[in-house]
Amino acid sequence: MMFEKSALAQARLHELVPGGAHTYARGSDQFPEDITPILVRGRGARVEDLDGNWLIEYGMGLRAITLGHGYEPVVAAVREAAADGVNFSRPTVWELRAAEEFLEQVPGADMVKFAKNGSDVTSAAVKLARAATGRDLVAICGSQPFFSVDDWFIASTQMKAGIPGSYGSMTVKFSYNDPDSVQALFEAYPDQIAAVILEAATATADPAPGFLEGLRSVTDRYGAVLIFDEMITGMRWSRHGAQSVYGVTPDLSTWGKAIGNGFSISALAGKRELMELGGLNTEASRVFLLSTTHGAETTGLAAYLAVSATYAERDVVGEMEVQGTKLRRGLEQAAQQAGVSEHVVILGRPSCLVFGTKDHNGQPSQAFRTLFIQELLRRGVLGQSLVISAAHTDADIDQTVDAAVGALEVYARAVDAGSTDGLLLGRPVAPAMREFAEPRRLRQTVKTTRGVMS
């Protein structure tokens, strides 16, 4: 496959947009050099780029797509809502319908507030916790990569330029599946921790028996707020979220991604006594919770309602689990046949698979990861991860496995040689969250992309 028009467009994006993309995980540094497809459209599990290549996509909009690109019932609902106007000076009936539906979906919650981005609602949850407890510190799961673009979280990462240093002392970290590390924080910071926030599970880690129950107990004992980040798990682990899978109810939970099948909508849900701190029925100092111009525009709410209706009609999570299991089985067989089953490993829940790449010494390797992504792309698979959707057909799975067979043959040659030299056509990908930008080689930047976008 050729990616010439995409390369030109990517170079132009770097002139116009910091980082060349609007999400760091979508950046060109996350893909092989000069193989950075700029997409035009998507249908089901496939996307078309500027060069006319049709690629099978995994990752599905950073895990936001479960029903497939351009899923007609959702698109039709959005189109119908938009035709009647999208933003008004008073609440719309869409807000009532969506709130009723969402609170049926999340039975442990009493109230909900909608917004547009995951960061909006996680930061709102933290604000509620601080207001309710009168405390400042937030305990986050240190092994989980991302909770918000806001200062309370980013101050704890390597990319903290521009944030006052004092913010860094406001966030403390515990280890996943390590209840002793949580207990130690409460003992080290008595009466200072407002909230404990984490993903109940991740693509590569399930909660150990008793861990989430222990969090529920320790936060109750010390008077802190328990927050579950359901951005990824919500409607991918279950329609009702990871909290229903593992049987532990948080005080607050935050949702996004799959609830709109790619349309912009997020939600904060939780107990009435906490949520009302941002409302009109409180005697306490009011929290400026979420007050956004576009938080309740009608198309996002219509998208959510259409997604929810589809989940009521179909076992969407079950469909993803079935297809993900087929994908895992096929890729593991391909790795075994290529003799690299100890070097390319398939990890995670079938509805949210990822892959791990190791070099000839069995060590995690960005260069080997890049080689695998490169060879999949050259064979028609766009795969930063193996996150699937219910739109992935058996034919998509078969083609992906066929592509992996070829990619793994190249990978095996690199393992045998002890290096990716001569096989990897550029620099390795880099972690998205890092303090310093590494040198990047781009094609000569063009001053115009006239004709490229046609």
Q: The tokens 């119908």 sit on which residue? A: 80
Write out the DSSP string of 97-147. HHHHHHHHHSTT-SEEEEESSHHHHHHHHHHHHHHHHT--EEEEETTS--S
Residue 98 · residue 304 · CB < 8 Å: yes
Say if residue 429's pLDDT is above 80. yes
Give the whole-angstrom CA distance, residue 240 versus residue 347.
Answer: 23
Residues 111, 227 share a domain: yes
Measure Cα distances from 81 to 145, 267, 307 in Å. 35, 19, 14
Strand bridging mode 111-115 / 266-270:
antiparallel
pLDDT in tens, 269-322: 999 999 999 998 888 888 989 989 999 999 999 999 999 999 999 999 999 999
The answer to whether residues 369 and 386 touch, using CB atoms and an 8 Å cutoff, is: no
Average pLDDT, the chain: 94
94 in a domain, yes or no? Answer: yes
Nearest-angstrom CA–CA distance, 381 and 148: 30
Closest CA to 244 of 106, 122, 99, 98: 106
447: pLDDT confidence band, cut at 50, 70 and 90? very low
Q: What is the pLDDT of residue 438?
A: 62
* Domain match, 55 and 113 both: no
Q: How far apart are CA 173 and CA 188, in angstroms?
A: 12
What is the domain-level CATH number for residue 347?
Answer: 3.90.1150.10
The percentage of residues in the chain with a pLDDT greater than 70, rounded to a whole number, is 96
Tokens of 101: 């539906």
Is 212 found in the same domain as 354? no
Token pair 């999570």: residue: 317
Instruction: Indicate if 135 and 261 belong to the same structural domain.
Output: yes
Tens digit of each residue's pLDDT (9 = 90 or more) over 199-228: 999 989 999 999 999 999 999 999 999 999
pLDDT digits (tens, 9 = 90+) for 308-352: 999 999 999 999 999 999 999 999 999 999 999 999 999 999 999
Whether the per-residue pLDDT at 35 is higher than 80: the answer is: yes
Q: How many domains does the chain have?
A: 2
Instruction: State CA 63 to chain mean position distance.
Output: 5
Same domain, yes or no, for 34 and 136?
A: no
Dist. CA 375–CA 403, nearest whole Å: 8
Containing domain of residue 208, as a range?
A: 87-296
DSSP annotation of 158 reads: S
Within 8 A by CB and 6+ apart from 418, the residues are: 359, 360
288 inside domain: yes
pLDDT at residue number 309: 98
CB-based contacts of 361, cutoff 8 Å, min separation 6: none
Q: Which residues contact 176 (CB under 8 A, 6 or more apart)?
A: 141, 143, 144, 198, 202, 205, 211
| pLDDT tens-place string over residues 366-396 | 999 999 999 999 999 999 999 999 999 999 9
- Calculate the alpha carbon distances from 421 to 24, 85, 130, 408 in Å: 27, 56, 52, 16
Residue 376 lies in a domain: yes
For residues 96 and 44, membership in a common domain is answered with no
220, 347: one domain: no
- Rg (alpha carbons) of the chain, rounded to whole number: 23
